Structure 1
Amino acid sequence: MSLKEQNAAERQQSPPVVLEYGYSHWTISSQGAADLYAAGARLWTKDSLRDIEQQLTEFKIRSSFAIRRIDGTIIYIKNPMYGVTEPIWKPIVEFRNYWRLVKSQPDGPPETYYCTYLIEWFNQIGTQFYGPIEGFEAVFQQIKKSWNNSATRQLLQDRIRALIHTSSDCQIIKVICFGLGDISVRPPSWWRIKNRELENPDRDTVMVEASMLQHCAALTIVDALRQYYLEKENSSGNTTIIRLLTQDPKYTEQTRECLRANGFEVVGPAGAGGFAEVDNETVVFSAFATAPIKQIIADLARPVLFIGSFPLEDFDIRMKPSPDAESPRTREMWKSYAKSDFPVAGEEIPSMASLHKLSICARNAKVD
């Protein structure tokens, strides 16, 4: 056998070299996540949301946090604030939506690719040092008075009553708000510097007045429901208690106190527990969320009403998913809802903090 023939024979006997070109953790993970999702795996459960809320509430005494992944496995994340007496960092939940699992590669190690929530650390020292805006409670009452005298308030009240009357077989026992924003935190230094240079400076509350207005709208929603059920039940003798809950992990303590004084129950300080309150007898109000509110709810329940924003595009120009993007599951959910515009009086649009950009989705039928 010639040398050439011998080399050819050896090559035939040797196994081929298989390159792992394009074979990455992300490729495998994203396909696996898509398969799990298609098979019905839920990205969020009430139990896991309650659990992470409880863990973060106890962060001073926990050395690590247990994070549930969508395949049911658990990973553990070290707690840098463990044992710290006066932590300046507060842990809150950072949600990852469907598209971060299957299309847009997330940051972090491959072990986190199956995670729909992780831990974000929020530095509180500046907020604690500067304190709340002086007199923010009085401004909130001014905004509330102006809102109560507006035509938009009456339009919203009438719309809520009409929708509930149409869905008369549906019972509502709570209104839950997500991410309406803080109403007391001071504006950043750069804003204060520029504001002082203006001929007619704005008041410090200008950056939180939209949030104040959204909380006023929430009060109107629950008032409309309470009034409707009171009138309906006068003849039946029944009594419906409708709770008003709100969750925003960046609420300051001063904001929480103010909201409680105005009829809100403040829940989920870490940003997760409030979702476990959502059920089929709920109204959800989320104005311009920075979390996947709709996707989370699609895994948990079918609220009677959903009031929120619907971005025209689910991805930005860099193909990053928007925080509250739609998903196959939310698209399916909306088939059971009728959508209408949030009512705002035309002449009041400039003063209504973009409420006219919201929509109201009403469930078509009772859900057992």
Structure 2
Amino acid sequence: MPLPLPGEDNQAQFMFTVARLTPGSSQPRRLENDEQEMFKCMQLYKLGVPLYTREAILNAYGQLKASKRGDITKITAIDGTSVDFIINTGRVWIGADGYERELGKPRLCFMPIQRLESCVVPDQLHTIPCSIRVAHRVATRDPITKERFEYGVTAFEKVRLNLFTTLHFWRNSPYYQLLRYLLDDYPKMPRITKIIGFDCGSMSRDLQGQPSNNSRARYQHAFLIALKEYLDARNFETTGQEVRVYVQHETYLERDIEVIRQFGVQVLQDPEGFLVVDEETVVVSCRPECPVRQVVADLAMPAMMIWDHERDPTKVNGMSAQRIFDPWSTRLDTMMRFYHVQEFVNDEINFDKMDVCIRRPMADVYHDVNDPDPGSDANFAQPVA
């Protein structure tokens, strides 16, 4: 039996749970004035109200871990509204293709500000002023045998060898040498104790002849491992502290986790990666499937970020607003005032155009604030020759 694709571009399909704004109500309720509610969200956002907080993420995550079908997960929206999300784990229905669809375990989904200020992506929930929502992964299964359709898994030794080989190529690539040169050029590097990579992808998923992102996933994991080696060597000369490496990706297979651990990388469950981000962290993300940049901007001021260069708030990675995953925002513009930003020309086959953002010493920031030259733009470093 042919395997139904999980979605366009082989992306996993998710379904948001039913949400209700009236606690205790048995039915969801739409907001009466969409434009008024969206305007309210934008005003709160401009006033500095965070879309995401550690407390909100921890609270929602704790509820989900203990939830079962029929339970309610309560999340507070940006305007203080209490929103009930009804857990539907195990719900089954027949799809238009005759296969059954089953809802898996719930997970948290993070909405960028663009989803709260616009109806570009119309759906039942677009008026809910909630930046953290609950969704279920949708699995496809045979209506008779009830067997789930799953892609194949590449053998452990092959995945391990592929990553080892990719790491060797990356260490010797001109892009890695350029990155080292770029980082060497910053003598005032902030203290760094950990690296967290978001949505680096599965290296072991066998798509049975269909195009896959396994190569991108291998190179992005190799990037993290090589970056740790560089920072360990740099720390050895100062603090002597070893840098820890974490990754967070909701669709890792067990085979991925087995291989990743062999290289000293710790896998965190979604959304635990966001909770470990602090002022001593390097954040790495390349075309993630969630608004990593906006979440990080609300949670911390990391030591360094290496992430997408795209800064058009209506686009991400060249795609229009209908496919926004990690869009830019005005809050990120403000955040960048505290960073040296250097464009990093990377391997565009396995990565995309990226920026290296290194947090500036507060003395430098203070100097720029008091700089009589209003045209200075000291936080944007000159390109490396």
Match of 2:109 in 1: 94
Shift in alpha-carbon separation, 1:110–1:322, aligned structure 2, 3 A:
closer
Over the aligned positions, Cα root-mean-square deviation in angstroms equals 2.9
The within-5 A match list for 1:79-228 is 79-81=87-89, 89-104=104-119, 107-109=122-124, 113-124=128-139, 129-134=150-155, 135-163=158-186, 165-167=187-189, 170-187=190-207, 192=209, 207-228=213-234
Aligned to 2:244: 243
Per-residue CA deviations over 1:162-211 (Å, capped at 9, x if unaligned) read 33x233xx211111111111111122x6xx2xx6xxxxxxxx8x531111
Deviation, 1:242, is 2.0
AA partner of residue 185 (structure 1): R
1:219 to partner: Cα distance = 1.0
**Matched residue, 1:266:** 267
Aligned twin of 2:58: 50
* Residue number in structure 2 paired with 1:4: none
Note if 1:325 corresponds to 2:327: yes
Seen in structure 2, the aligned counterparts of structure 1 residues 61 and 104 have a Cα distance that, compared at 3 Å, is closer
8 Å CA contact retained: 1:279, 1:303: yes
Shift of 1:343: 5.0
8 A contact 2:281–2:304 mirrored in 1: yes
Q: 1:80, CA displacement in angstroms?
A: 1.3
Provide the TM-score with structure 1 as the length reference: 0.76
- The share of aligned pairs that are identical, in percent, is 23
User: What amino acid maps onto 1:358 in structure 2?
Assistant: M
TM-score normalised to structure 2 length: 0.72
Match of 1:75 among 67, 78, 83: 83
Shift in CA distance, 318/340, structure 1 to aligned 2, threshold 3 Å: closer
2:185 is paired with a residue whose SS is helix
Distance 1:209 1:314 in 2: 28
Is 1:360 the counterpart of 2:356? The answer is yes
- Asked if the contact 1:286–1:309 (Cα under 8 Å) also holds between the matched residues in 2, the reply is yes
Higher Cα Rg, which structure: 1
1:276-296 residue CA offsets vs partner (Å, 9 max, x unmatched) = 211111111001122111111
1:36 is paired with a residue whose SS is helix
Q: How does 1:272-287 map to 2 (within 5 A)?
A: 272-287=271-286
Show the counterpart of 2:26.
none
Shift of 1:101: 1.1
Is 1:293–2:289 an aligned residue pair?
A: no
Could you tell me whether the CA contact under 8 Å between 1:55 and 1:62 is conserved in 2?
no
Q: Which has the higher strand share?
A: 2
CA contact (8 A) 1:340 1:360 kept: yes
Q: Identify the structure with the greater helix proportion.
A: 1
Structure 2 CA distance for partners of 1:321 and 1:186, relative to 1, 3 Å: closer
* TM superposition shift of 1:253: 1.9
Structure 2: 5+ residue runs without aligned partners? 1-30, 93-101, 142-147, 364-385
Q: Could you tell me how far apart the structure 2 residues matched to 1:146 and 1:54 are? A: 41
Per-residue deviation, 1:156 = 2.3
Q: Which amino acid aligns with 1:186?
A: D
Q: Where do 5+ consecutive residues of structure 1 fail to align?
A: 1-22, 196-203, 234-238
Higher relative contact order (CA 8 A, sep 6+): 1
What's the counterpart of residue 11 of structure 1?
A: none
CA contact (8 A) 1:161 1:225 kept: no
The match for 1:199 is none
Asked if 1 retains the 8 angstrom alpha-carbon contact of 2:63 and 2:73, the reply is yes
Q: Residues of 2 paired with 1:62 and 1:244: CA distance?
A: 37
Deviation at 1:342, TM superposition (A): 2.0
